[in-house]
Structure 1
């Protein structure tokens, strides 16, 4: 049947004639089910050829005169999203190649061209085109949604919140009406990785992993794939693949490791059916991943095995977990510490042996740690380090003390981070500090350190929010307190000066008169008469 199908069309674009000639003769186009329908020497000529020939694959040099390869792709892809771009680049053009991949290129190869590598690349491109063709009927049912909307829809159901999407009645007959199971793919040590990456590097790495997963899912029977939390993706598989769950997970781990050098773990749920069950199986797959911290290494963790591992049923304190999550979300230290005490009482009341108590605390810690990830306030904190401390302790009070101390430190740092991001909070804190220390020899360097800001940034922010310069506010505090002392006591004027931060009484009198229009003596006499 495949011999009777129309061949996929290929357009070659390069400003070097020798490369065009070698591509035409060195690649077995007929064997690959491909045909060359045109060639162009630059992007401008390629645009005309694309309109005339409607190719499926474009092999293009990345750097060309007039219009380069990336500009060509950016011009064409919005109109032909299924078009496959393969770029040829030199060794000094890696940044261009990476930009091309980010913008939607299928792949790239370096000069001098390895023809065997290109053949393998074209085979994968052919497989993608075949897959797209086979799925055209299925895709008709989702053309009313963009990819982002579909992912959002699946994420909403996974979160157990289908209400905003009830009008999408066509989903009642979706592929999820049959039995399926969920795999949650999560990058290991994600917090440590993001601490190393810049914002741009983070986007590129997550984009790369997603591409790897999408390519893999096309040929391995996945029903759907979508990102959930940062560093985490969900894949859905038909129940017919149930017997090969572990192998699927191992393939996912190996693929991500091979193409991105990143480590990940996979948690896999039991089978279910219906899109409304996404929120039921996600916690199962996610909880299976807790075993990652017991094993100490990346792996595949099946929910059925995780459930069977416990030798007794334990009532999980879900309400306590939700309350702890809320205390962290609101940065409520006192509430969080009180809830940890309640956890200790719960464990004692259950009379749990140490292994089960430790397991419960680890599961709770993972959930709470992820809240700090969602808040984006964590630094280089190590949850594995926390688990090592717990593992080395022998009593419940010692274990709970480590939990409380660790999460208290993390919450304090989160407070500092939140305050650092809130200029008004910073300045209010500084004003309180000045009001408590105005009588000392305050320097702008000292107060800038309190604000954890550079001197120039502090000066700008302080003036912007308070309306005073630093010196004006210090003087204001000193004068207000001097007036209070003069009104409320018989302390001699020369004794008032050091009480409000001035060692020279004459200088104090000059500053006071400039601020109030009166000398300290005149101010006191006026207010004594009024009294």
Structure 2
């Protein structure tokens, strides 16, 4: 037996003290990695001890005062079907012992007790318990992988990127075939809030908030909940709750504040239908959410109440927004500044009232900020400060100038040059991190944050120094580990996939064949022959 194996707990039940004493000294409990946690002289005491001590194995006389062995077993197995009962019976109780087996007993032995036979029986019992534990761990892993894959799927659709998830078609999303709406929950002043937290404190706080949000969701009919950006969670509600939007949002804000002492706000979208609409309603909820900067305090903001009415004859410049986002992704400062000038011309041509022009500028600032937030790890940036500044300015030209100044500065900070030597050091650090975490759901954002670079700058630097793109290097690490496992173990192919970061074995096989020219099975067969 391995020294690190878990000790399983055993309860002894017999009304004869001499049998209890002999069991305690004659069986090699330590060697079997078993521990006696209690003794009982009758079934009633045993019933109480089982509830208190939570044993894994009960060794009991089949005939006992008050409650006999079979009655005790039936009562307990109705609550815990995995508990193992081993009965001791007299010669004349043979048929009674057979009945115990039919009722769910693990085994029985006749008096006088053969201690070697009992020890072998206990070996089999612990093997069964080990298998039960392995199965439970496997099921837990499957459930966790399924949950993570579902979250990834919803996040990808929300970003408008369904294609990378074709290999996850086995996940069901039937809950979104009917009407639903989205609530985006975001901690208030997130950048300022987390500036004083260590990485571990940040992880623990986000984990705590996630638990609060998930527990609340279970109690209030939420279809699904998943984290999106840092400090932000998405909840999807059935359309039947449409009339309770504000009430639900207020309950959520109150609940998070009660249990975490942190304030948050909630933005709620219009009602829609179909999983492909996630990327359409997210901007609605996010833009509604940022109306809190007008209110000055936490709250619930609903898209229908904050959206610009189409009858006011001003159309949001979606193409201009897309062009600005692209200029930021490519760090094209000149193009970005020119597009801000185009934005000023567009608003001027609309001849919109100041309030409406300000609202459009704020909406654009929010969208562009989110793009920078996605690309960079610059906690000193403050959207709240920018929106507060815009709110104090009196003219369109002043507002556009403020946007130019702020985003130009952010772009400079996010693209600070790195010396050749520092760049090599950063890439080596990133490679080591990838090599240690390739089996996880690694994102480019996570590693660029580690490198303290913008995503675009990190990608360029990583390619220049390593010769690989980020995805190529992650795949390279995964394939090398997969080849090692296939050559040096008997782990089944479908079990290799999650060990190297792929939750779908079929997708893993496709990637492996593309990388090596062989399926995992073909690779194992060829290299096993070579080794022999």
Q: Deviations over 1:293-345 (max 9, x none)?
A: 22121111111111266761422111221222222233322222121111111
1:268, CA displacement in angstroms? Answer: 0.9
SS at match of 1:297: coil
Cα distance, 1:163 vs. partner? Answer: 2.5
Matches within 5 A, 1:244-255: 244-255=244-255
Is 1:419 matched up with 2:418?
Answer: yes
Give the match for residue 501 of structure 1. Answer: none
Question: 2: CA distance between counterparts of 1:282 and 1:176?
Answer: 14
1:261-318: CA deviation from partner (whole Å, max 9, x where unpaired):
1111111112122222222221211121131222121111111111266761422111
Tell me the CA shift for residue 38 of structure 1. Answer: 4.0
Match of 1:307 in 2: 307
Alpha-carbon spacing, 1:215–1:414, altered in 2? closer, same or farther (3 Å): same
Partner of 2:209: 209
Matched, 1:291 2:291: yes
Distance 1:349-1:380 versus aligned 2 partners, 3 A rule: same
User: Structure 1 residue 162: deviation in Å?
Assistant: 2.2
1:37–1:55 contact (8 Å) kept in structure 2: no
Asked if residue 79 in structure 1 is aligned to residue 78 in structure 2, the reply is no
Aligned to 1:151: 151
Aligned partners of 2:287 and 2:366 also within 8 Å: no
Structure 2 match to 1:266: 266
- Is the contact between residue 191 and residue 373 of structure 1 (CA under 8 Å) also seen in structure 2? no
Aligned equivalents of 2:298 and 2:420: distance in 1? Answer: 35
Q: Quick one: distance in 2 between partners of 1:269 and 1:224?
A: 15
5+ unaligned residues in a row in structure 2: which ranges? 1-8, 10-36, 38-47, 59-75, 82-131, 427-464, 466-532
Give the unaligned 5+ runs of structure 1: 1-10, 12-19, 21-34, 57-74, 84-103, 105-141, 428-464, 466-531
Pairwise CA RMSD: 3.9
Do the aligned partners of residues 77 and 207 (structure 1) sit closer, same or farther apart at CA in structure 2, a change above 3 Å counting? farther
What is the DSSP-based 3-state SS (H/G/I as helix, E as strand, rest coil) of the residue aligned with 1:225? Answer: strand
1:381 corresponds to: 381
Q: Distance in 2 between matches of 1:422 and 1:365?
A: 36
Query: Residue 237 of structure 1 aligns to a residue in which SS?
Result: strand
Distance 1:173 1:363, change over 3 A: closer
SS at match of 2:185: strand
Instruction: Give CA-to-partner distance per residue, 1:117-169, whole Å, 9 cap, x none.
Output: xxxxxxxxxxxxxxxxxxxxxxxxx9696111011111122222223334655
CA, structure 1 residues 308+331, in 2 after alignment: closer, same or farther (shift >3 Å)?
A: closer
Distance 2:424 2:344 in 1: 34
Contact 1:331/1:414 (8 A) holds in 2: no
CA distance in 2, matches of 1:253, 1:82: 34
Larger Rg: 1
Where do residues 65-104 of structure 1 align in structure 2 (5 Å cutoff)? 79=136
1:161 aligns with 2:161: yes
- 1:31-70 alignment, distance < 5 Å: 37-40=50-53
Matched with 2:16 is none
Aligned 8 A contact 2:293 2:388 in 1: no
Q: Distance in 2 between matches of 1:222 and 1:247?
A: 14
Q: CA deviation at 1:412?
A: 1.8
Distance in 1 of aligned mates of 2:235 and 2:177: 16
| Match status 1:174 vs 2:174 | yes
Question: What per-residue deviation string (whole Å, max 9, x for no partner) do you get for residues 341-366 of structure 1?
Answer: 11111111222221111111111111
Deviations 1:143-202 (A, max 9, x none): 696111011111122222223334655667711112111111111111112222111111
Q: Counterpart in 2 of 1:130?
A: none
Question: Deviations along 1:75-131, whole A, 9 cap, x unmatched?
Answer: 979936999xxxxxxxxxxxxxxxxxxxx9xxxxxxxxxxxxxxxxxxxxxxxxxxx
Equivalent position SS for 1:419: coil
* Partner residue in 2 for 1:340: 340
Aligned residue for 1:146, secondary structure, equals helix
Cα distance change, pair 192–180 in 1 and its aligned pair in 2 (3 A): same
Q: Against the structure 1 CA distance between its residues 167 and 387, is the aligned structure 2 distance closer, same or farther, given a 3 Å change threshold?
A: closer
Query: How many residues get paired?
Result: 318
Check 1:308–1:365 CA distance in 2 against 1; reply closer, same or farther (3 A cut).
Answer: closer
